């Protein structure tokens, strides 16, 4: 089974890649989503939950900036230049994962006062909820596409290419050349002196045919 680059990223360097690219951003985003619901129902904007919501929003946004820069420079650009994308499935998996981080970055910008300055607290909270919803949608698309096998759309991985090249490397056996080699071998065997001829595996030595066993160095029969 072939894997998308999304799954390869999570599978290699265990467990660190899984923690860095999945566990930490998901935990921060889930914390943001849970506290978001609490604030929408209670409208308490001065307690611990409110500050936890702000911290999670800023932290996950900044964190995703680092993830996007890393994946773009170390995966997307090199893979695109080499033409190694595993069909549109691979592109969707990686692309939607990166897109999922953009709404969280917008939340961080809002919490740091860089955007939406004129909005009141309720309006900002609605934008929070919308951005979290977008993250969940794109994040789940990335996971679903990432778990698919690109070969269902005709992608052939490195193993298939190696098998193909290996089968192509076998030399073709020409029947005429084979027959010529056999005749040369028979001719050589026919010119060989009788005492050098190899013994046929189906024949027994003359002494054994006569019921005599070979003698040892002292001339005694065994």
Q: Is 60 exceeded by the pLDDT of residue 173?
A: no
- Under the banding of pLDDT at 50, 70 and 90, the label for residue 209 is very low
* Residue 84: pLDDT over 60: yes
Note down the domain range covering 71. Answer: 5-153
The answer to the question of residue 73 being in a domain is: yes
Would you say how long the chain is, in residues? Answer: 222
DSSP symbol at 150: G
The structure tokens 């065994």 sit at 222
Residue 173 within a domain: no
Nearest to 55 by CA among 35, 71, 80: 35
- The domain total for the chain is 1
- Greater confidence (150 vs 191) lies with 150
63 and 22 Cβ atoms separated by less than 8 Å: no
- Domain assignment of residue 90, yes or no: yes
Residue 172 has pLDDT above 50, yes or no: no
Structure tokens at 14: 């265990």
Q: What is the pLDDT of residues 115-166, one digit of tens each?
A: 999 998 889 988 998 999 999 999 999 999 999 988 887 777 654 333 333 3
119 assigned to some structural domain:
yes
Question: What's the CA gap between 150 and 152, in Å, rounded?
Answer: 5
Q: What is the pLDDT of residues 35-65, one digit of tens each?
A: 988 988 888 888 899 999 999 999 999 999 9
Residue 191: inside a domain: no
Note whether residue 213 is domain-resident. Answer: no
């Amino acid at each position: 089974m072939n894997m998308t680059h999304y799954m390869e990223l999570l599978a290699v360097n265990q467990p660190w890649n899984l923690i860095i690219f999945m566990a930490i951003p998901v935990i921060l985003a889930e914390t943001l989503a849970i506290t978001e619901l609490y604030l929408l129902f209670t409208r308490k904007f001065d307690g611990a939950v409110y500050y936890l919501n702000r911290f999670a929003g800023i932290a996950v946004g900044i964190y995703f900036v680092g993830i996007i820069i890393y994946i773009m420079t170390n995966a997307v650009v090199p893979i695109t230049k080499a033409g190694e994308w595993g069909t549109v499935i691979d592109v969707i998996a990686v692309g939607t994962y990166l897109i999922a981080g953009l709404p969280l970055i917008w939340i961080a910008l809002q919490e740091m006062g860089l955007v939406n300055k004129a909005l009141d607290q309720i309006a900002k909270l609605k934008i929070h909820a919308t951005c979290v919803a977008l993250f969940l949608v794109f994040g789940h698309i990335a996971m679903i596409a990432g778990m698919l096998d690109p070969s269902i759309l005709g992608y052939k991985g490195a193993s298939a290419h190696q098998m193909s090249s290996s089968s192509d490397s076998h030399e073709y056996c020409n029947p005429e050349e084979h027959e010529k080699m056999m005749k040369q071998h028979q001719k050589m065997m026919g010119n060989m002196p009788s005492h050098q001829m190899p013994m046929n595996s189906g024949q027994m030595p003359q002494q054994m045919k006569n019921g005599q066993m070979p003698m040892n160095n002292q001339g005694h029969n065994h």
